[in-house]
Amino acid sequence: METTLAEPSKWEQFHLAFDLFRDPLLCALIAGGVLGFLSVYVVLRRMVFVSAAVAQSAGLGVALAFYAAIHLGTHVEPVIGATALALLATLLLMTEPAKLRLTKESLLGLAYALAGGAAVLVGDRIAQEAHDIQGILFGTAVLVTPEQLYTVAIAGGAVMFIQLWWYRGITFASFDRTGALVQGLPVRLLDGVLMVSIGVMVGVCARALGALPVFAFSTLSAIAALMLELRLPWTFFVATVMGAIAGVGGYLFAFFYDFPVGGSQTVFAAAMVAVATVVRMLVHAVQKAR
């Protein structure tokens, strides 16, 4: 009598191999949450393309780390390369380009195009690591190493601690710069802390998850939260939750429906904007009907 073994369902596969998926899920949860919190500053301060340029620079940093190891014999941890280039791009974008008769938008375009083009050129010289480069730029975080998870967790914890500790000062300086100066707040220091926080998180998260989902977490989370027209503290909270949901939900969606992880997390974050838009329309319709 011929017997056949039934193939385990996706849920059974997920349950049996949960130890394999735990680290990437935790990494996506932390990265999505912290970047979601920071995304409120990114969107309200109209720095969306700052996030894109910094994420591209992080990808270039990883590519340069591989290049140094292969062609120069110098070992540099890719996460160090990603963080260093992300911080360098952040500091560059903090400069005032008016002295060179450039606008902020021109500087952003230059940084984005230069980082993206250079990553492609460097990647062409390290063909054996081409798959890793593609993963960093577009996000293929099927697996996350324990070291990457620890790095994201430590960086995320430190950033959230500073952001919550200096929340009132950073928020005041971000949205009422003149008022903050009149009150004697160290506006440049607070701006610097915020930009370095964004640079560090984008750098370490891009190495673990990829630049594409990192850009989505650091922009779309706030756009979705702002659709709900909440008070500012609640906007930060909802953006944090939505970023975490996009990270974890996108990963699970990719697993159960066999899609690339980075693309799934990005589309999941965009879908949350659509959901928030529908909720906003329903709330307005109810208010008009009263």
Judge whether 60 lies within some domain.
yes
What type of residue is 161? F
Range of the domain at 256: 17-289
What span, in angstroms and rounded, lies between the C-alpha atoms of 45 and 12?
Answer: 45
Instruction: Determine, yes or no, domain membership for 12.
Output: no
Q: In which band, very low, low, confident or very high, does the pLDDT at 142 lie, cut at 50, 70 and 90?
A: low
- Tell whether 181 is covered by a domain: yes
Q: How far apart are CA 232 and CA 210, in angstroms?
A: 29
Residue 274 has pLDDT above 90, yes or no: yes
Residues 6 or more apart whose CB falls under 8 angstroms from that of 191 comprise 94, 173, 174
Looking at the domain assignment, is residue 8 inside a domain? Answer: no
Tokens 């735990």, located at residue: 22
pLDDT at 18: 80
For residue 287, pLDDT beyond 60? yes
* Count helices and strands in the chain by DSSP H and E runs: 13, 0
Confirm whether 4 is domain-assigned: no
Q: Which of 133, 104, 142 is nearest to 28 (CA)?
A: 142
Decide if 7 is inside a domain. Answer: no
Q: What is the pLDDT of residue 260?
A: 84
CATH of the domain at 72: 1.10.3470.10
16: pLDDT strictly greater than 70: yes
Residue 221 and residue 39 in contact, taking contact as beta carbons nearer than 8 Å? yes
Average pLDDT value for residue range 85-103: 77
CA atoms within 13 A on the CB side of 46: 3
Per-residue pLDDT reduced to its tens digit, 193-207: 998 898 889 888 887
| Percentage of residues of the chain with pLDDT beyond 90 | 31
Q: How many domains does the chain contain in total?
A: 1
Q: Average pLDDT for residues 124-146, to the nearest whole number? A: 65
Q: How far is residue 199's CA from residue 50's CA, in Å, rounded to a whole number?
A: 10
The answer to whether residue 204 is domain-embedded is: yes
Q: Which is more confident, 56 or 137? A: 56
Crossing angle between the packed helical segments 146-165 and 78-94, to the nearest 10 degrees: 30
End-to-end alpha carbon distance in the chain:
70
pLDDT higher than 70, residue 1: no
pLDDT reading at 159 higher than 90: yes
Does 5 map to a domain?
no
Tokens of 148: 């990457």
Q: pLDDT value at position 80?
A: 84
pLDDT in tens, 216-249: 998 999 999 999 989 999 999 999 999 999 999 9
